[in-house]
Amino acid sequence: MADETEPKVGRAGARPVRAPHGTELTCRGWAQEAALRLLMNNLDPDVAERPDDLVVYGGNGRAARSWADFDAIVATLRRLDDDETMLVQSGRPVAVFRTHEWAPRVLISNAMIVPEWATLEEFRRLEDAGLTMFGQMTAGSWAYIGSQGILQSTYETFSAVAAKRFGGTLAGTLTVTAGLGGMGGAQPLAIAMNGGAALCLEVDQAKITRRMRLGYLDVQAQDLDHALSLVLAARDERRALSVGLLANAAEALPEIVARDVPVDIATDQTSAHDPLLYAVPDLSPEDAADLRVHDPKTYVMHARTSMADHVKALCELLDRGTEVFEYGNGIRVEADLGGFKRAMDFPGFISAYIRPLFCEAKGHCRWIALSGDPADIAVIDAAMLEEFVDNESVTRWLRLAARHVRVQGLPARTCMLGYGERARASRIINDLVRDGKVRAPVAVGREHLDSGSVASPYRETEGMLDGSDAIADWPVLNALLNASSGATWVGVQHGGGTGIGRSVHTGMVVIADGTPLAALRLDRVMTNDPGSGVVRHADAGYQRAVEFAAEQGIRMPSLDAATEEESWTTRP
């Protein structure tokens, strides 16, 4: 989006940043080095969407509050000892305290605002005053790895759609979506990996070009007629194909509906979580830029009206039998604010497809080779294929990823693993580092979008069985638990995904440096972190989570007083 949407962060000090590669330490230990390399990796021009503005992805998700703050974080990490902890308050390093070697080296809190003040307007005021920063999800807690980070979950979501409605494959189907940014850019490849045809609407030519360069998008169409001829031919021939079209979704989608195009699946990943980032079709770029700066309220009004048109078209497709879902950007609530009152007729993707996985804490882990050597990821891939040989979803994904995912910044791999599996995977990685099979330590973390780490009533916790959608104790407990269990750094944030006022969520990373201490820390964090997700869902009454907690020996004193004694004496 145009720079004019941005608060007064400033570009003073902006320059290309790339994480150091290799085995030489630039900090006093690998934990600090891991934090430094992942922070820098977030801003690598191959990884970040707008690195000069410190924006990593998600419209306005930043890695640091300003370039001066970035420099101060880097300098502090270089001096930080193995028993010290740096506090980062919304992208600014504010303190270093002596703690102990099991403690996190970095604690991060981003965009936290007292609930009554947690509105987008107040957030922007505070951001413009230089007091806070939007961290989105993995950007602000230094664990973003480029489009691959979202690729597997997007792939799994579309696989779930295929399983629900289309006999297990998207071959012979047409999906229409919008937004080819940091997250949304994974959609075309994920749909094609499921065998489908995808039409992706995007207003920014640079985003289309970038996705084609990164191998996430096959072709760009000249106009809507051309786009439809390409995707409908692919659909009819049951051929995978992704087509980008330079168009505004609020305009093009109603046109697609008017032409009665047979759309099988429809969704959207424009940056709707912040209406200032949603492109309005009936404003010239100059007028839009001017309004964003001088009259943001009017811009937001236009954006919400456009989102109402966009979501109305989605509802019309829904009425015709199209599989429609919101893809985690809050567009339904914005359309509702824009006057379209049927916006909540279709579900969010978590409640529609992902929640059963969350009951077993299945979610997206990631490991990042700090050496910068893709061979390290290949070695870990091979070890995981052996360890999880009986797990079809893991082996299928690892093989697909090795074939389709290009390296962006530090080489990394995502993988969907549940309770128990994450600890096993971490143990394998730490052993590979210990035995010198990989060249340097590896950072292990996960998405914020995970089973125990989020309260987000329009996304991860929409429609919880017990009505606990907005209860945010769970992510806070998750962060505290991870810090107590030995994570190398922990971040708590507000507003990621669906926007300010609408979510609280956490992230963490643990370093696998091959030492016995790392083995212990990895085991604790990679057991307890997903364990908190099982507990969150069991507490809400999901039967599978209740059974799973019992099967795994996860102790939940609140669940059943009758079995209390037994559960307290059984250690997992």
When the beta carbons of 57 and 367 are compared against ligand NAD, the nearer one is 57
Q: Are strands 323-324 and 55-57 parallel, antiparallel or unpaired?
A: unpaired
Question: Closest separation between CB of residue 493 and ligand NAD, Å?
Answer: 11
Was 497 annotated as part of a binding site? yes
Dihedral angle, C-alpha 295, 301, 306, 308, nearest 10 °: 160
Distance CA 235, CA 229 (A): 10
Q: Is 110 in the site for ligand NAD (CB under 6 A)?
A: no
Residue 204: name the closest of 303, 278, 137 by CA. Answer: 278
Residue 111: name the closest of 456, 488, 496 by CA. Answer: 496
Q: Is 201 in the site for ligand NAD (CB under 6 A)?
A: yes
Question: Closest separation between CB of residue 508 and ligand NAD, Å?
Answer: 17
Q: Is 182 in the site for ligand NAD (CB under 6 A)?
A: yes
Was 321 annotated as part of a binding site? no
> In this chain, which stretch among 56-64, 113-121, 390-398, 519-527 interacts with ligand NAD, using CB under 6 A?
56-64
Was 202 annotated as part of a binding site? yes
Burial of 223 (0-12, 13-18, 19+ CB in 10 A): exposed
Was 567 annotated as part of a binding site? no
Among 104, 181, 441, 491, binds ligand NAD (CB under 6 A): 181
Give the up-direction half-sphere exposure of residue 511: CA atoms within 13 A in the CB hemisphere. Answer: 27
Distance CA 229, CA 536 (A): 47
When the beta carbons of 486 and 497 are compared against ligand NAD, the nearer one is 497
Among 242, 270, 414, 528, binds ligand NAD (CB under 6 A): 270
Question: Closest separation between CB of residue 56 and ligand NAD, Å?
Answer: 9
Residue 107: name the closest of 490, 444, 478 by CA. Answer: 490
CB 175 within 8 A of CB 196: yes
Among 93, 184, 338, 486, binds ligand NAD (CB under 6 A): 184
Was 140 annotated as part of a binding site? no
User: Helix (H, G, I), strand (E, B), or coil: what is residue 438?
Assistant: coil
Among 9, 108, 191, 250, binds ligand NAD (CB under 6 A): 250
For 146-195, give the secondary structure using H, E and C.
CCHHHHHHHHHHHHHHHHHHCCCCCCCCEEEEECCCCCHHHHHHHHHHCC
Q: Are strands 265-266 and 323-324 parallel, antiparallel or unpaired?
A: parallel
The site string for ligand NAD over 311-340 (x = CB under 6 A, - otherwise) reads ----------------xxx-----------
The site string for ligand NAD over 486-525 (x = CB under 6 A, - otherwise) reads -----------x----------------------------
Residue 306: name the closest of 267, 276, 346, 328 by CA. Answer: 276
Question: Closest separation between CB of residue 350 and ligand NAD, Å?
Answer: 9
When the beta carbons of 277 and 335 are compared against ligand NAD, the nearer one is 277
Distance CA 532, CA 474 (A): 8
Which residue is at the shortest CB distance from ligand NAD? 181
Q: Which residues are catalytic?
A: 415
Question: Closest separation between CB of residue 200 and ligand NAD, Å?
Answer: 9
User: Helix (H, G, I), strand (E, B), or coil: what is residue 523?
Assistant: helix
CB 407 within 8 A of CB 514: no
Was 499 annotated as part of a binding site? no
Partnered with residue 95 across adjacent β-strands are 87
Among 38, 80, 88, 180, binds ligand NAD (CB under 6 A): 180
CB 201 within 8 A of CB 190: no
> In this chain, which stretch among 118-126, 160-168, 268-276, 511-519 interacts with ligand NAD, using CB under 6 A?
268-276
Residue 322: name the closest of 355, 356, 345 by CA. Answer: 345
Instruction: Indicate the helix (H) or strand (E) that contains 64.
Output: none
- In sign, the C-alpha dihedral spanning 322, 203, 412, 535 is negative
Was 272 annotated as part of a binding site? yes
Query: In sequence order, what DSSP letters do the residues of 427-440 get, joined into one string?
Result: HHHHHHHHTTSSSS
Q: Is 204 in the site for ligand NAD (CB under 6 A)?
A: yes
Partnered with residue 363 across adjacent β-strands are 417
> In this chain, which stretch among 96-104, 273-281, 351-359, 518-526 interacts with ligand NAD, using CB under 6 A?
273-281
Q: Is 271 in the site for ligand NAD (CB under 6 A)?
A: yes
Among 44, 202, 513, 523, binds ligand NAD (CB under 6 A): 202
The site string for ligand NAD over 123-142 (x = CB under 6 A, - otherwise) reads --------------x-----
Question: Closest separation between CB of residue 252 and ligand NAD, Å?
Answer: 8
> In this chain, which stretch among 276-284, 366-374, 412-420, 426-434 interacts with ligand NAD, using CB under 6 A?
276-284
Among 7, 58, 409, 533, binds ligand NAD (CB under 6 A): 58
Q: Is 195 in the site for ligand NAD (CB under 6 A)?
A: no
Among 288, 449, 472, 554, binds ligand NAD (CB under 6 A): 449
CB 194 within 8 A of CB 174: no
For 28-59, give the secondary structure using H, E and C.
CCHHHHHHHHHHHHHCCCCCCCEHHHCEEECC
Residues that bind ligand NAD (CB under 6 A): 1, 49, 57-59, 137, 150, 153, 178-184, 201-204, 207, 248-250, 269-273, 277-279, 327-329, 449, 497
